[in-house]
Amino acid sequence: FADMTALRGAALSATPAAAGKLEFSGKVRVIDGDTIDVGRARVRLHGIDAPEQDQTCTAADGRDWPCGRWVTQKVRATLEGRNATCQPRDIDRYGRTVARCLVDGQDLGAYLVRSGLAFAYVKYSTDYVGDEKSSRRAGKGLHASQLQDPAAFRRAKQPGAPAQASTGCLIKGNISSKGVRIYHSPGQRD
């Protein structure tokens, strides 16, 4: 956690939803980029979203690479076996405890987003938006590549999801109000 010193002093802020729920702690076992086991509890880290293990990204040179597995490996190398303390916030539809967790007093969500290993999951929280902006500006981790939003990737894998058209141009272009020409390609986050 040497690179987490910038996050020293990150405070665990309780929310009304967490009131009355007991803090818990234990050794970390990494499941993927945003899900860990803490002791016997399966925890979905609050306010962040990471690529799925089978998700790929596109590097600047156009090559696809297994960014979901890469994120899991990075998170595992950093957190596996460490002691975490978690404050529950909710239970998700899969029965996982949604929690904000700390290791050595440092917020795991902030660390993962700031390191470019996860994104702020603004559907559920805006806690890490500033961390994501800093990481994006610096081109850290996933921000050096193009990828589909993890939530959109999960939706596309669901049974009955519309199939992507196999014909026609998949790259879309825009001209901004300032005349800047930009393009969007499949797998790009935005």
Provide the annotated active-site residues: 44, 52, 96
Q: From CA 121, how far away is CA 129, in angstroms rounded? A: 8
Query: Strand pairing of 48-49 and 41-45?
Result: unpaired
User: Which residues, including other chains, have CB under 8 Å from residue 63's CB and lie 6 or more apart?
Assistant: none
Tokens of 89: 């916030």
- 41 pairs with which residues across the strands? 38
- Report yes or no: 17 and 90 within 8 Å, Cβ to Cβ: yes
Q: From CA 50, how far away is CA 72, in angstroms rounded? A: 9
- Report yes or no: 102 and 108 within 8 Å, Cβ to Cβ: yes
Residue with tokens 């002691």: 83
